Amino acid sequence: MCSRCVRFTDEISGTHELCMVNRGSRTEIDVFPGMPLDNPLQGNVVDICPVGSLLDKDFLFKRRVWELKGTPSICPGCATGCAIRIDHAENTVYRLKPRFNPRVNQWWMCDEGRFGFKYVHDKKRIRSPLVRRGYETTTPNWKDIPEIVRFRLEEHVREKGAAKVVAMLSPFMACEEAWLLARFVREVAPQAALAIGPVPMEGEDQLFPVSAKDDAVRFTILKEKCPNRRGIEMVLQATGGDLLTFEQFVERSGKGDFSAAWIVGGYPKPWVDKNAAKIAENFELLILQDMFENELMAGAAIVLPSCAWVEREGSFVNAAGLVQVFERAIDPPHAARPDGQYLHEIAGFTGLYTGERVRELMAESLPAFAKAYTPPELPVHAH
Ligand code: SF4
């Protein structure tokens, strides 16, 4: 009867579904008749219940909490960039929990982010690299990938010229990965165009408590459903040269302006629309980096598996411009490699990729990356 959950629906979600019924020793927590607890922030009542009376059906009986390891991360569900903790064991993510961040999400996260990680363990993910030449398809060793990629791109630039090359960077990439890829593409093809991939938008921004305005808003779910549009734009602007929106990229590719492309997907949902599906046939060399198979794959000369954010490390820049770091929690599926690691090697660096090391290099041209924001640590209680 601490009433934390009731207060949550009154003060944070503003949806008022919960109440206390009866009196004295018969008092109970209940929903108002005909008002199920189904608001977009309802998962938070489980986190704040101090006695475990409210439980998460998604996690219930899946794993003992003391077997879980918590890794600090950032939710990629929308451009708000909530601080979260990834609870995992034996290379499996079991649940996501919010982490206190006074500048972004306070103590909360939304259900969309909390339960939206299941694609990470989807069996249909691309797991190993593929290389095609003519009718021959091979699965090369990772150690050969940097050489193969560089050779094929340099060969194309020699034959067709650097201005025929384009790279599309995804707003699901970490800033470090985007920087490494942009740097490599511009090194091999200095006149290459760089584009940002489609920025998924769904519905409208949702402000909480519902109907709150300005200073009274305590939590926001943004309609921009990707974590790093701003970070990718910062990297592209610092790189300079020909920069394109996704629409311009599709239009110019459709007109045949480019004959070689490096396309990065990594979206949790299908992202290739009808127009984008048609452009694959215009590329003589297509390098596709993605998490799931799509319409572009059949025309790709090189396919590199993208990893989910829980398998990578780096930084995202949220809609408010805050640079925030996320850590790697689990290993990629068998035969895949974290994107940062192979992009690091392709870009000509040796040794282990770490987000921190790449941010130091980036900070020379992008001072915002000299110091990422880290929220203060609060004691974590497993429950
Ligand atoms: S508001 Fe956005 S960033 Fe925060 S938990 Fe929800 S989806 Fe994730």
Q: Is the same domain home to 32 and 136?
A: no
Using 70 as the pLDDT threshold, list the residues of the chain that sit under it. 379-383
Whether ligand 1 lies within 6 angstroms of the CB of 75 is answered as yes
Q: Is the same domain home to 299 and 216?
A: yes
Q: Is the same domain home to 49 and 147?
A: no
| DSSP 8-state assignment for residue 125 | B
Q: Is the same domain home to 135 and 51?
A: no
| Contact (CB, 8 A) for 43 and 83 | no
Give me the pLDDT at residue 335, please. 82
Give me the pLDDT at residue 211, please. 86
From the alpha carbon of 108, which atom of ligand 1 is closest? Answer: 5
For ligand 1, atom 4, the nearest C-alpha belongs to 82
Give me the pLDDT at residue 379, please. 65
Q: Is the same domain home to 31 and 157?
A: no
Give me the pLDDT at residue 381, please. 57
- Position 369 in a domain: no
| DSSP 8-state assignment for residue 373 | B
Q: Is the same domain home to 201 and 304?
A: yes
Q: Is the same domain home to 156 and 304?
A: yes
Domain limits for position 12: 1-55
Distance of alpha carbon 315 from alpha carbon 83, whole angstroms: 12
- Total domains, the chain: 2
- Position 135 in a domain: yes
- Position 104 in a domain: no
Give me the pLDDT at residue 380, please. 58
Query: What spacing in Å lies between the alpha carbon of 221 and ligand 1's midpoint?
Result: 6
CB environment 103-140: b (16+ within 10 A), e (fewer): ebbebbbbbbbbebbeebeeeebbeebbbeeeeeeeee
- Position 119 in a domain: no
Distance of alpha carbon 141 from alpha carbon 126, whole angstroms: 15
Mutate to test the pocket of ligand 1, among 84, 111, 112 (most ligand atoms within 8 A of CB): 112
pLDDT digits (tens, 9 = 90+) for 200-234: 999 999 999 998 999 999 999 999 999 999 999 99
Q: Is the same domain home to 160 and 22?
A: no
- Position 46 in a domain: yes
- Position 209 in a domain: yes
**CATH code of residue 257:** 3.40.50.740
Q: What angle do CA 77, 318, 176 make, to 5 degrees?
A: 95
Q: Is the same domain home to 41 and 182?
A: no
Whether ligand 1 lies within 6 angstroms of the CB of 10 is answered as no
- Position 68 in a domain: no
Q: Is the same domain home to 4 and 151?
A: no
